[in-house]
Structure 1
Amino acid sequence: MKIKEYRTQFIQELTPIYDAGEAESFFYLIVEEKHQLKRIDLALHPDLVFSEAEIVVWNSILEQLKQEIPVQYLLGKTSFYGLDFEVNENVLIPRPETEELVEWILESQKSRIESQNIRILDIGTGSGCIAISLAKNLPNTTVFAIDVSEKALATAKRNAENNSVNITFINQNILETVDLEQQFDIIVSNPPYVRNLEKEEIKKNVLDNEPHLALFVEDNDPLIFYKKIAKLAQKNLSENGQLYFEINQYLGKEMIDLLEKMNFAAIELLKDIYGNDRMIRASMKI
């Protein structure tokens, strides 16, 4: 079968579940990963064909997409901040909003990167996307990353190796941590923040496939991770150090109140590209 003919069939079969643009993007992601062919290659060579064996593989992928398994899990990889990351059922798929958080941190460190070694801690690292992206883009850094999941850390370690960065990974439950035992210039976290009451807003492909441990918190204590991490930061954030969080879009005011009550200063709330309150940073009062 000609690839262009299969493309039409592929998109038609997925459009009851995904919009046509998303289905088309899936097709080109897969054809590039499986066949090293880009959109322009197919346009220039419209008579390219899939073999029968290749169609069997594609039909299997198509059926899994119909079950709303994320395409990133099917490919076993995704792109984040210009880097390739392995992803699997043990880690969240990195989001564009988290790229914005990384960019915010990098922008804030421009004046410091040549003058001193920066010590960074990423809490709840998952795939390692934040820690690895920071390590890759900040040359004078020592980066640590914590996660409660050993399987997530195994994935993050492979991602660090594949992206040629050195990171100290620690298997630790941050909610049970009394002291981080050293000082950091930057503490960053994208912890679980989706309340159970918000599950109906979560797409089925996320709800049924991505690890709930990294997504959800109880409705009666949605800031549990933020309170704990901010408390640790009070002891373990260096002078002029900064605390960064990705947050629940509905709890921006509550986050500001929390950090003010805990004696943080220079609190800034930032919206993401979709106009939602998504990131916050603060410093310790001197």
Structure 2
Amino acid sequence: GSASEATLISLLAARTKTIRRVQSEKPELTEADIMGRLVAYASDQAHSSVERAALIGGVKIKNVSSDDTFSVCGSALKKVVDEDKASGLIPFFFCATLGTTPCCSFDKLLELGPICNKENIWMHIDAAYAGSAFICPEFRHLLNGVEFADSFNFNPHKWLLVNFDCSAMWVKKRSDLTGAFKLEPLYLQHHHQESGLVTDYRHWQIPLGRRFRSLKLWFVLRMYGVTGLQEHIRKHIRLSHQFEHLVLQDERFEICAKVVLGLVCFRLK
């Protein structure tokens, strides 16, 4: 579907996983007790869909302040997590962003990942726009630290020549998703489900069924190939730097965020 759906799915899976973990450690706590103490985090530059996911999931969410490059660093996350734990809250989810909507900034995964792993915080990476650029080797350094993530999403429909909607999501442990969404009414059971040969995506998502979105992505990959898609991305990034150069030549304007990919943020002085 979209990055909004991927964020929601990951947050709900993280919520279920955390509730079960806490109940195993403190059986006297009810699900309602734990739900009231759960808290999620995202950058103050994160997309509004993260806040909406928390609203639907019925959990608190707090913004983590970004630095002067509009990125979230490890110390900022650690500070708010420590404060909330001292207040009796249970940190359980953090949405890191690679390529924020306002200015295409990148949260510092190598600093954030170890903190999330240590604190049992699910780290979801929203790379809805920027994820397409990672098909180019020269931009993959922006992905360093992805190994700490529990889930990752990007939208081929944003920058990879695929029409809406087409969103790709990876999860480190698929059992975390199925553990949150798996239901087995008699009318949906079949004799292939335990064979290991069939993947029932109804256990991975909110809808029961899904459209054949993979076909249109396959056709784009088939038509353009890796080389063609890489050139498409590189051309747009070259254009953004050319535009940045033109803006800098006019003393009335200034660039207000580092140009990394295809977004140029500028303003009147």
Question: Normalised by the size of structure 2, how large is the TM-score?
Answer: 0.32
**Structure that is richer in strand per residue:** 1
Question: Normalised by the size of structure 1, how large is the TM-score?
Answer: 0.31
Higher relative contact order (CA 8 A, sep 6+): 2
**Structure that is richer in helix per residue:** 2
